[in-house]
Structure 1
Amino acid sequence: MTVQTDRKSFTIWGLSPVLFAVCMGLVILAIYIGKLPKGMIGALAAMMTMGAIMDKIGDKTPVINEYLGGAPLVCIFGTAALVYFGVMPDSTVKIITDFMKGGGFLNFYIAALICGSILGISSDLLIKAGARYAAPLLAAVLVSCGLAALVAGMIGYGWQQGIMHIAMPIMGGGMGAGAVPMSQIFSTITKMDTKDILSILIPALALGNVMSIVAAGLLDKLGKARPALTGNGHLMKDFKVEKEEEIPPNIEMMGVGVMVSCVFFILGLLLNKVVPMIHSYALMIIAVAMCKIFNLVPESVQKSCNMWYKFVAKNFTAALLVGIGVAYTDLGAVINAVSIQYIVLVAVVVFGAVVGAGFAGMAVGFNFVESAITAGLCMANMGGTGDVAVLSAAKRMELMPFAQISSRLGGALILILVSLLLPVLG
């Protein structure tokens, strides 16, 4: 008699280990003989193969998979280490960096997630959650800054520096929309060189991003241990979420999703020309949300965008995290910032963001874990790249719209606060 087993064969990225090894071997060969194609093909081949193997390592390594964020942490800092120690050739670093920055892969990914996740949720949820979201956002900033000032004063770092040099860059919305414009504000007011200011701000931002990813993994564990504190990816308490209709994958629908997501991204850029003080991501969120609330997009198109978002999240997240590690993560800056005093202050800021956003969120009807992740950690991470890593570590990618509100509108709030506080605190 034949015994049937249900054990699933071990695969890497859907391929058998042997077939995956052949694919990765060819990519590695092309990398080290200088034949990796420039542009999208070479970049994606390298990012997807590295992402696949590091995703497996992160998921299977004890402690890392349970408490340190798992695959996202390994994908980002594993590849950052390859760059830092010179294992990855400069030519490959350039190909991936050009694709991430000049090729706009990060924008492409985030556009798909914002558009698909907003159009895929309830209009009532958008209205009710959006009206209350300012409370946990403000609480995260106030508590993190307050704790930074208190602890910095106690350990002799200086409470003003604790706020301006640690809390503000961490909570400032990332690099391009946070640290860089923040350095311009510092330079204008203090007359310091921008490069010197960035050398102060970037280590806090980088280390805060690391701790935010770790904290996201811990919050996911907290939600599993204390189910009452989480909505398992849903921000609001006591909000009945209808079971999503299962739609078989449809190539034509995903094509519609690609086009509409890109058009909404362009709309955000056009609106930014009219309202330059608000980031284009934030304006895109507002535009998509208005279309959802007022039912301006046909239901079939909404489903198409949601289907495309799921495809992108499933197949490109690990590759994107590798790109973040190569193009956006300076491991040297993180290492140089490592001191007991500095680590304590950064940890206090991240902890304050979690506690402030979590409890304030509960007060307005949000789940603690989801509120702490979106209004807290997505303020304390490295902007759009950090949002992807944090939500991936927390296994809650569907929260991307709220994460982007934190990174973009919250980041804009921090820039305003810096311009007001810096003349006073110095």
Structure 2
Amino acid sequence: MNTSSADSGVLLVHKKWRYFQRQHKTGMFYLAFICTQLQMLMHRRIGIIPLPLYCVILFCLSILLAFGKISSDISIMVAILTTLGFTCAELGARIPALRLIGGPVIVTTFLPSCLVYYKLLPGELVRSINDFWQSTNVLYLFIASVVVGSILSMDRRTLVAGMAKIFVPLAAGSVAAAIVGTLTGMAFGLGAHHTFFYLVVPVMAGGIGEGAIPLTLGYADILNLPQKQLFAQVIPAIVLGNLIAIICASLLNQFGKRHARYSGKGRLSAADEGISTNPSDASSVTVEHIAAAGMIAICLYMLGILVHKLIGLPAPVAMLFLAVLAKLTYAISPKLEGGARIVYRFFSTVVTYPLLFAIGITITPWNDLLAGFTLANIATITATVCTLTTVGFFVGKWVGLYPIESAIINACHSGMGGIGDVAILSASYRLEMMPFAQIATRLGGAITITAAILLLGMIS
């Protein structure tokens, strides 16, 4: 009796053990299944962000906004700008017609500007991004890293030949664009004086900070008019010119995919070896080399600021010349050049769209863009930018450059300074040409402003 009871008790315990074991195995199976699915989702990305992390970040940001806890701390700003920037880029890449004319760049730059103008973004979010932008000036960190990284990664012969050759199509395109743009404005009923000085010249002045401001200060001194009034007149042309240049650059990239003989895929000429991708060099580059290369970029930018204070040369241009000098004199070791290449790739891949989103929030005026949308303005500015780009295509081919690369560099001459260069080169997937774009924008803009002020002084 007792023995049978014991046996039945053991059997019951055994059955219960088997039951719990089966449940345990089932639970482990489902856990393993969930983990496998999560790993698969981690390979799906919005830009650079794995999809599960993207959802978690959006959830956290929503809660922070609901409680009013959004700050301009760098960690929060990295999360916001990266998530929203790549969201806009993905949206632009999926709109059928827009994606062919630079959709990711256009949406990432101008959609935030539109949302801010119509107050469709939380005010606290916009204020935090503005505070971060003003306190960090992150644009110049980006430009310094891309310019110095791409210069140090170039072949020396390519660097010298490219900088010597780009001035020919740039000069020819600028003169032709000035003539065609002015004639177009006159054909649409705009006066030659207004068309040239308030539409054509601002497009090629080099942006806002180093273009429109010194240009309108010069106009104000000559015409005895308020600088703010003149500034408001030229801003729409600059913004619209930048938009058209983005579209031209994207179309040139599409044309290059269909007609490969005209495209260098970021290389200026057939002799251009481009950015070195030697695997042995890459494998020998350490974290210390990458960090040192980043410090080289920052150091050269600081020297550029000192040069600007001493002689007035724009800091990015001075930095560019110093980087070229360092490259040509073999002052930087091959391993540090490899580190600079990685710094360039990081910023061009990871930082571009978050930066464009911040630009759209902070310094892209949607109302000025709308103000420029008159038939006469659109026709005049389109003729100016397209002439500049087209002449760059054919003259570049004549001097031995790849026509598409030469045309894109000329298009940068009609952008919004460094901001425009980022947008235009991103639309054409050629950020490695940033040094040449900076020459077109900064030096080309300075020459344009000087010539325009001298001419206005002569005829006034």
* TM-based fold match above 0.5: yes
Tell whether 2:458 aligns with 1:420: no
Measured in 2, the distance between the counterparts of 1:125 and 1:279 equals: 24
Check whether the contact 1:136–1:356 (CA below 8 A) recurs between aligned residues.
yes
Moved over 3 A (4+): 6-9, 13-16, 237-243
Alignment of 1:140-159 (within 5 A): 140-159=173-192
Tell whether 2:75 aligns with 1:46: no
Q: Normalized per residue, which structure has more helix?
A: 2
Measured in 1, the distance between the counterparts of 2:424 and 2:274 equals: 23
Check whether the contact 1:168–1:418 (CA below 8 A) recurs between aligned residues.
yes
Match of 1:220 among 253, 257, 269: 253
TM-score using structure 2 length = 0.87
RMSD (Å) for aligned C-alpha atoms: 1.9
Cα drift, residue 333 of structure 1: 0.8
Cα drift, residue 410 of structure 1: 1.0
Match of 2:308 among 265, 272, 288: 272
Q: C-alpha offsets along residues 251-294 of structure 1, whole Å, 9 cap, x if unaligned?
A: 32321122111111101111222221x21111111000011011
Match of 1:193 among 214, 226, 233: 226
**Cross-structure match for 1:3:** none
Check whether the contact 2:153–2:276 (CA below 8 A) recurs between aligned residues.
no
Cα drift, residue 198 of structure 1: 0.9
* Counterpart residue identity of residue 58, structure 1: G
Alignment of 1:4-403 (within 5 A): 9-66=43-100, 68-241=101-274, 244-246=277-279, 247-248=282-283, 250-276=286-312, 278-374=313-409, 376-403=410-437
* Counterpart residue identity of residue 190, structure 1: L
Measured in 1, the distance between the counterparts of 2:322 and 2:127 equals: 34
Measured in 1, the distance between the counterparts of 2:133 and 2:251 equals: 29
Measured in 2, the distance between the counterparts of 1:13 and 1:218 equals: 22
Residues 36 and 125 of structure 1: CA distance in aligned 2, closer, same or farther (over 3 Å): same
SS of match in other structure, 1:102: helix
Q: C-alpha offsets along residues 89-123 of structure 1, whole Å, 9 cap, x if unaligned?
A: 33322222232233110011111001100000011
Aligned length: 418
Cα drift, residue 203 of structure 1: 0.4
Q: C-alpha offsets along residues 178-237 of structure 1, whole Å, 9 cap, x if unaligned?
A: 001111001000111111101110000011111111111111011112212111111123
Measured in 1, the distance between the counterparts of 2:92 and 2:274 equals: 31
Measured in 1, the distance between the counterparts of 2:51 and 2:276 equals: 36
Measured in 2, the distance between the counterparts of 1:263 and 1:192 equals: 41
* Counterpart residue identity of residue 270, structure 1: L
Between 255-264 and 8-17, report the one with greater CA deviation: 8-17
Residues 47 and 240 of structure 1: CA distance in aligned 2, closer, same or farther (over 3 Å): closer
TM-score using structure 1 length = 0.94
SS of match in other structure, 2:96: coil
Check whether the contact 1:148–1:159 (CA below 8 A) recurs between aligned residues.
no
Q: C-alpha offsets along residues 96-153 of structure 1, whole Å, 9 cap, x if unaligned?
A: 2232233110011111001100000011011111122211111121111011111112
SS of match in other structure, 2:232: helix
Between 415-424 and 211-220, report the one with greater CA deviation: 415-424
Q: C-alpha offsets along residues 3-36 of structure 1, whole Å, 9 cap, x if unaligned?
A: xxx9995322444434311211212332343211
SS of match in other structure, 1:380: coil
Q: Which has the larger radius of gyration?
A: 2
Gaps (5+ residues) in structure 2? 1-39
Check whether the contact 2:267–2:273 (CA below 8 A) recurs between aligned residues.
no
Percent identity (aligned)? 28
Measured in 2, the distance between the counterparts of 1:133 and 1:421 equals: 25
Measured in 2, the distance between the counterparts of 1:250 and 1:184 equals: 48
Measured in 1, the distance between the counterparts of 2:50 and 2:134 equals: 32
Check whether the contact 1:42–1:95 (CA below 8 A) recurs between aligned residues.
no
Cα drift, residue 336 of structure 1: 1.8
* Counterpart residue identity of residue 68, structure 2: G
Measured in 2, the distance between the counterparts of 1:287 and 1:390 equals: 24
Gaps (5+ residues) in structure 1? 1-5
* Counterpart residue identity of residue 119, structure 1: L
Check whether the contact 2:41–2:51 (CA below 8 A) recurs between aligned residues.
no
* Counterpart residue identity of residue 35, structure 1: K
SS of match in other structure, 2:332: coil
Check whether the contact 1:216–1:373 (CA below 8 A) recurs between aligned residues.
yes
Q: C-alpha offsets along residues 364-402 of structure 1, whole Å, 9 cap, x if unaligned?
A: 11111111111x111101000110010000001100000
